[in-house]
Structure 1
Amino acid sequence: MFPFRPILLLLPLGILLPSCEQQSAKAEAKPEPIIHEDLGDNQLPGAPSTFLAAADQSPVHWQRWDPDILTRAKDSQRLIFAVIGSSRYPGCFEAMRVIDDRASIVRRLNDEFVPVLVDLDICRETSLLASILSPETGQAVSFPFFLVISHEGAPVTWQPLQYSSPEDVLDFFDNSLDVISRLWNDPEYVLSDSASKIQLRKSRLPKPDPRVNEPEDRLVAFQTGIRRINSFYDEDIQTLAGAGGLFPFGLLDALALASTSDALPESTTEKSQEALNGILGELLNSAMIDPLDGGIYPSRRGNSWNLPSFHRNCATQARAARVFARIHSLTGHPGALEVARKAVRFAEANYRTQDGLFSLTGKPASAPDLEWLWTEEQLKSTLSENEFNLWKQLSDIRSLGNLPSEAAPTGRLFRLNSLRIQRPLNQAAERAGLSRNEASTLFESGRKKLLKGRDSRMAPPRPDSNPSASANFRMVSAYSALFTATGDRSYLDRALALGKKCRTAFAGTRFLNERPGESAEVMSDGRAFTYTLATQAALDLGAITLEDEWYQWARDMSTLLGEHFIIDGERLVEAREASRVVDLNFEDRMMTFGESTSGLLRINLVRLGALGFQIPPALRPWAESLPDLRSYPIVHTDVLRALALETGNAIIVVGNKAPAEMRERVSTLPLECYVRRDSETAGDAIEVRMADGSRQTVTSLDQLQALVEGQN
């Protein structure tokens, strides 16, 4: 069966255009269009994000993404031309500048369309829609993503854009606007065709995941999924085939849990540990962890971890901190904890706003490209001789460049080097003929010079003053994980303070908002994924404080999710009905941009169930069903995480009169692996309920420590 394609790609142009007589007859029957006053001006001033606010002076009459836009499009008898982008993709800003600078494009967007600018970080469903539609153009998903839709909320045509030069944008508009406008000469055809295609899409949406209720079957699914992931690992090159180009946080997390799981055969845990150590070894020695400022890059460009995509964001830092802190807690892997600490420091230095919350990312001055890389001559001119000799050993600097030729077959990267900590400082010092103390001093002085030099060639992003719900909930979880890994109460204090700020800023009304405000506009109505992040953060706070109010809030968030984001009793959607624009209710099941909504929901449901909360009836299918983990384990590592917790977590009931040092030790156990809750009836004891059903009462810190060490 042929795949769907946009109208413009599917049919020859001659078939699309009606005859002149048809056009004339239809034109006579048309009512006069009603042009709403809003369409005469740019509606982005005061918009709740850097990406949108950057276009608030644009000559294009940009509108906001909310259901009202459908009414304005219907009344004006125009198609909606949506540009979907984000501050996380610098090319989006470049593309917007090209549009603004071409008067003919501006005029046509204003006069012939309803132009809408969409921030995919606020309206997450649009990024998922782009990921579904992009393959039908024969291209990978990229942003900005151009989407034309009818006033009925049905996609008409679309195009992802991988920005590299202004010509990319100009070619699209030069080749497409005329065709789209002529297509709209027969609106009845366009409306009926797009409506029929979206109905066909709905009929072909994947069926709900099958129910797998028996514990034995769920255990087998977990074991099968982990074995399949391990089978993809190549120990010779320390790489997992098919892992993709995103930083593999979910994969690392799943392997860490598997390597310490009692529910897996010993051979599987050993293989999981081997794969975890191998992949970590490659990543920790790569450019994905910046040696100059400690920040983590979200993805790579091409097939080399030494060529990252250069623009970073707060969510990546927070997720890195949580995952690497857990890896340290579970496996004691050397270096993991320092990565977590540096990621949080980077987030605090670059994304914290004046009110103590966190933005998602800043606005880049331009799309960074080769400015991030160095020639050997540039490094020599920036560093002293001894500093250069040390960094040469650390990063394997070469006169012809240290990036593999396959990273850029066109030769663009010839003679360019990326900086990374390829070998430990003591080994680099020995190779450079330096003592350890000399090397430490030279490393720090060289790092500062290199950072200053890079900033002079590639200006850091300008700070964003708009806090992001997803970034803040992730930072709560990052602080919580670092507290469990270190016992440092400053992390607990930061987690708790930020959690309270989040409840005020993003949950001032019954529903969550993607941006602060008690009466947020529909556009920034909280999406389903944000509810799962909020639930995770609340569960983490309950675990480190043993305060039941956070568990209750997690339950409330899950209840709201079940009441307002489930369609037809079986499909989890990103936006509430009151906020949806495109009439396509698909479920986020696969880890396209990180965790999936359904995967993170499953993890939360396991934790809530272990705490003794009843699963909201509408969400029970996600507690009982499973995707195909044998065929697609890598895109479902979040589901494997849920199964790891389901088959192996311990439940700890903490007496509210138990000694303070015992309560604190319980609160610093790894998140999720140990579900803990305060109890008035347990007195001064602690009861540990193991995954195998056994129970043990602990009355001393030594007993507790011995039990935990036995589990780990």
Structure 2
Amino acid sequence: MDADAGLIREMHENYVCVLADPEARPELGLLAARLSAERNHAVQFPFIAWISYEGNPVAWLPLRPRDVEDFASVWENSHAMVSKIWSESPRYVIFNSRRDNANRTTHLAMGAEEPVGRPAAMEAALDAAGRIAALYDPASSSIDGSGGLVPLTAVNFAATVALDPATPPGLQSRLTRLVEGLGATILRSPVVDPLDRGMFVGRRAEGWALPVFTKDAGTQSAASGAYARSHALTGSREFLAGAESFATVNETLFGEGGEGIGDYLALLGHVPDGRGFLWTQERLKELLSPDEFDVATAVFGISGLGNIPAESDPRRFFFRRNSLGMARSLAEAATTLGRPEAEVQALFESARRRLLAQRRELLQRAEHLIFEGTRITAVNARHARALTALAQVTGDRAHVERARKVLDYLKTRHYSEDGGLMRIAAGTRHEGVAARGEDYALLLDALLALYRLDLDPAHLHWAEALAAETLAKLGDKDAILLETPPDDRFGIFPIIHDAMVFGPSTWGTIYNPLGQLQQLGPRPEFEALLAAIRSRLVPALEKDHPFIHTDFAAGVLAEARGCLLLLEGDPEEAVFREMHQAALAPEFDGIVLVHLVPGLPSAFQLPEPTSGPKARIRRHGEDLGEALTAASLQQLLRETLASE
């Protein structure tokens, strides 16, 4: 587009043109999704919207890949249509767009006719888990309806529900099969890049052989968290290795320049024939030594005709090309080749480095690669949350320190001078962007997850202040949570983030941490928001594809436990440490944990600490018992959950 001076001139002569970044302002992506849904179109980017001077959408167009390649003619047709409507009846355009937008705003303000209680929400969440298990197809190793997305949230949710001792055994078994089958398929497929060990954002077509050649930090965090949870369920070393690898990729691939991690690594423009990602057998022979080629062939399943199946490439556009995935493990390849595993591993590493260097050279030479290194609060909070999941299943304190370092970075760098959270901190060459709903929700989730591990009350104080700021800046008169502060909104209409369109939703993500704070100290404003979310999302969970509400469903199941574990004593004492470690078992994730010490937030309504070490468990304000050892605590917790 930038090479067509005539097109650029025509755009600026007829319109006030604004280039908007949905990464910096995610409400624009949500706006595009909502407008696309009105026309029964899937949202795609780039996305063009014509907006009236009043801030009302007049027309919009999601651009498909072929539209981008032929943008000049697409623009000509669209511009002619909009110009014609405007020239014939500008008053009609203004009136209609104003009325349509008023209807959208009214629709957003409408909630369910009846409140939805916690028991009904829990029933809906368990039903959603059962529907996800039913949608899993072992033959294709996919979840029907998940499209091109890698269903990491579904895997995480399935593992979470299967780990819960209160889940019916039949459902546990079905969900475990999903996690084992789908988790292994994704991890061994070309969607996981064996060259830099990162995960691509999705797949292009049926099957898992053709990825979308883009990586982002959010996908690595989601993958790390999902595979950590899957390891907790299955004990799979392969899953644990994947979880640790994805967290490391976030820091090595997106952590350039020191503190925090950036956003995404993408391809700019078309990469001919998948160059740098898809390889012919002949080209691999040229690049690798004979021994390296033999190992690559055994591991990746290289073929002279290509290894991409017809269902992934029905038009055979990538005929004779091979995508790279771990079709065989290194141990299996060693057996196939009849060579020592250590030798195969060394040859694979040298082949991997050689191919990765070739890819980088190809993409840099063609100027196809773009790295967006902007530090975004939500992106970093998701990374910290993934590190806490790793710390929980490994017991490795190094992961705790990594998570703490990320959150310390956000605390020191992502607040404005007046003390408000920022999505993007102001820099020397750009203005800052105020925090959005997903920033608040993901940061709250990360803070409370880290508190479970290190019991630092500073995290609780920060979480309390953050929750209050969230409601003050994003709450509205209907007790719902908006995605964008009203004074920083891009016109149009109030935006809500109630479904997992591009990742975790604000409403779904914030439900669990807000519910935890409510258990520690009931507040009417928290209860009103939790009730408003339930009244709107439980009907959606029952009606929509459950895939897009698993963050909310997981929060509902955690909140339904209604259990509070009070730890007392000196963290340096062995008995205390053992009880704390026992309480961190994934099966007890739905239980809110707090260490009774002086100086907790004043809003918490907790008993004064007594002599320790010991643990007390309460449900809905009623004391159920206490334990003095790790073994007795585990027994008490299991009995409590089983008695629901």
TM over 0.5: yes
Q: What is residue 438 of structure 1 aligned with on the other side?
A: 343
1:412–1:103 Cα change, 3 Å? same
- State the TM-score, normalized to the length of structure 1: 0.80
Residues 12-38 of structure 1 show CA distances to partners (whole Å, capped at 9, x for unaligned) of xxxxxxxxxxxxxxxxxxxxxxxxxxx
- The separation in 1 between residues aligned to 2:249 and 2:232, in whole angstroms, is 21
Q: What is residue 298 of structure 1 aligned with on the other side?
A: 201
Q: What is residue 155 of structure 1 aligned with on the other side?
A: 57
The 8 Å contact of residues 423 and 439 in structure 2, kept in 1 or not, is answered as yes
Please tell me the residue identity of whatever aligns with 1:104: G
Alignment equivalent of 1:262, drawn from 141, 154, 165: 165
Superposition pairs for residues 378-527 of structure 1, below 5 Å? 378-459=283-364, 461-508=369-416, 509-517=418-426, 524-527=433-436
Please tell me the residue identity of whatever aligns with 2:550: T
Unaligned runs of 5+ in 1: 1-97
How much does 1:189 deviate?
2.8
- The separation in 2 between residues aligned to 1:201 and 1:223, in whole angstroms, is 31
Residues 397-433 of structure 1 show CA distances to partners (whole Å, capped at 9, x for unaligned) of 2211111212222221111111111222211221122
Please tell me the residue identity of whatever aligns with 2:452: A
Secondary structure, in 3 states, of the residue corresponding to 2:264?
A: coil
Residues 210-247 of structure 1 show CA distances to partners (whole Å, capped at 9, x for unaligned) of 65654543332233222222121223443321122212
Please tell me the residue identity of whatever aligns with 1:503: K
Q: What is residue 612 of structure 2 aligned with on the other side?
A: 684
How much does 1:326 deviate?
2.4
1:563–1:320 Cα change, 3 Å? same
- The separation in 1 between residues aligned to 2:284 and 2:576, in whole angstroms, is 52
Residues 368-391 of structure 1 show CA distances to partners (whole Å, capped at 9, x for unaligned) of 451111111112222222322222
Unaligned runs of 5+ in 2: 598-608
How much does 1:591 deviate?
1.6
Alignment equivalent of 1:323, drawn from 210, 226, 229: 226
- The separation in 2 between residues aligned to 1:178 and 1:623, in whole angstroms, is 43
- Confirm whether residue 118 of structure 1 aligns to residue 20 of structure 2: yes
Please tell me the residue identity of whatever aligns with 2:542: R
How much does 1:708 deviate?
7.8
1:624–1:196 Cα change, 3 Å? closer
Secondary structure, in 3 states, of the residue corresponding to 2:180?
A: helix
- Confirm whether residue 342 of structure 1 aligns to residue 270 of structure 2: no
Q: What is residue 698 of structure 1 aligned with on the other side?
A: 627
How much does 1:136 deviate?
4.5
Please tell me the residue identity of whatever aligns with 1:630: E
1:307–1:709 Cα change, 3 Å? farther
1:210–1:601 Cα change, 3 Å? farther
Q: What is residue 361 of structure 1 aligned with on the other side?
A: 264
- The separation in 2 between residues aligned to 1:529 and 1:349, in whole angstroms, is 24
- The separation in 1 between residues aligned to 2:470 and 2:71, in whole angstroms, is 39
Please tell me the residue identity of whatever aligns with 2:615: E
Alignment equivalent of 1:373, drawn from 259, 274, 278: 278
Please tell me the residue identity of whatever aligns with 1:412: F
Tell me whether 406-415 or 619-628 shows the greater mean CA deviation: 619-628
- The separation in 1 between residues aligned to 2:376 and 2:185, in whole angstroms, is 32
- The separation in 1 between residues aligned to 2:619 and 2:203, in whole angstroms, is 39
1:392–1:116 Cα change, 3 Å? same
The 8 Å contact of residues 294 and 343 in structure 1, kept in 2 or not, is answered as yes
Work out the number of aligned pairs and report it.
614
- State the TM-score, normalized to the length of structure 2: 0.88
Superposition pairs for residues 15-164 of structure 1, below 5 Å? 98=1, 100-137=2-39, 139-164=41-66
- The separation in 2 between residues aligned to 1:533 and 1:527, in whole angstroms, is 10
1:230–1:451 Cα change, 3 Å? same
Alignment equivalent of 1:577, drawn from 477, 482, 486: 486
Secondary structure, in 3 states, of the residue corresponding to 2:260?
A: coil
How much does 1:561 deviate?
2.2
Please tell me the residue identity of whatever aligns with 1:498: V
Secondary structure, in 3 states, of the residue corresponding to 2:386?
A: helix
Q: What is residue 602 of structure 2 aligned with on the other side?
A: none
Q: What is residue 93 of structure 1 aligned with on the other side?
A: none
Residues 160-187 of structure 1 show CA distances to partners (whole Å, capped at 9, x for unaligned) of 1123476421112222224434444453
Q: What is residue 621 of structure 1 aligned with on the other side?
A: 531
Secondary structure, in 3 states, of the residue corresponding to 1:572?
A: coil
- The separation in 2 between residues aligned to 1:534 and 1:491, in whole angstroms, is 17
The 8 Å contact of residues 209 and 312 in structure 2, kept in 1 or not, is answered as no
Please tell me the residue identity of whatever aligns with 1:686: K
1:511–1:237 Cα change, 3 Å? same
Alignment equivalent of 1:602, drawn from 502, 511, 519: 511
The 8 Å contact of residues 155 and 178 in structure 2, kept in 1 or not, is answered as no
The 8 Å contact of residues 161 and 168 in structure 1, kept in 2 or not, is answered as no
1:215–1:498 Cα change, 3 Å? closer
- Confirm whether residue 591 of structure 1 aligns to residue 493 of structure 2: no
The 8 Å contact of residues 687 and 698 in structure 1, kept in 2 or not, is answered as yes
Q: CA RMSD in A?
A: 2.9
Superposition pairs for residues 244-255 of structure 1, below 5 Å? 244-255=147-158
Q: What is residue 605 of structure 2 aligned with on the other side?
A: none
How much does 1:352 deviate?
1.5
The 8 Å contact of residues 297 and 316 in structure 1, kept in 2 or not, is answered as yes
The 8 Å contact of residues 394 and 425 in structure 1, kept in 2 or not, is answered as yes
Q: What is residue 93 of structure 2 aligned with on the other side?
A: 190
- The separation in 2 between residues aligned to 1:376 and 1:470, in whole angstroms, is 41
1:217–1:139 Cα change, 3 Å? closer
1:283–1:310 Cα change, 3 Å? same
Residues 573-612 of structure 1 show CA distances to partners (whole Å, capped at 9, x for unaligned) of 2111111123322432222112222111212223323444
Secondary structure, in 3 states, of the residue corresponding to 2:16?
A: strand
Superposition pairs for residues 274-285 of structure 1, below 5 Å? 274-285=177-188
The 8 Å contact of residues 559 and 590 in structure 2, kept in 1 or not, is answered as no
